[in-house]
Structure 1
């Protein structure tokens, strides 16, 4: 799977850890930055991530910041993105199964590396259920439906 990952400075170390782990799992990973732990603005990286998932360059996106809140808000501003903020695997799985989430967000100050990997595994291994959920997903990008 082609996965794009981005963070702010607070999640720089977690991003590097997850990037390397995803590569070990056999995924093609695009690290959208930042390249250092120097202070940056999370919306810049959220918007970059949203763009590559929305245009199909990446199949899924991983967004990280200190709490996961700010970057998830920025990435969800794109109408083609459904980013779920998660801190445990069940939410990550349900985000895919019920909401067809194409991005996952986590907070580096709230989840450790092992929990982040468990969330990411659940997210990547779960398929969208479709059916009754599809009409709701359609409304997320088209509120006038």
Structure 2
């Protein structure tokens, strides 16, 4: 009986560890017309022939308990002339998000560059920050065009 209990307990622990997410990400919704992509990204018409894919939200990592706001932007390869200085991102609650990284896609695809902008949030629990960012707006300006994302509920 003792051996069966140990094996059952080990299996339970394995399932518990495997099912816990590495982080939580709370999406902001695009305030306009967009097509939803996988994993909460929004495909937005940038010009007549080009799209951009954007995801904005609040994240909490389980390892290190890092919290903050983030915006991920992918540009169509027809928009190669856009760089980080052409983009400004602001939260109505926490202010400007700073440039974090630019990653080149290793595979051939329509979207070949990623821009990541983040702002860390130091104080407050996850629940308190979620209350604070209710109805928060993240405004993204790219070469004069404005895109707004709103945190609802």
With normalisation by structure 1, the TM-score equals 0.29
With normalisation by structure 2, the TM-score equals 0.28
Higher-Rg structure is 2
Give the structure with the larger strand fraction.
2
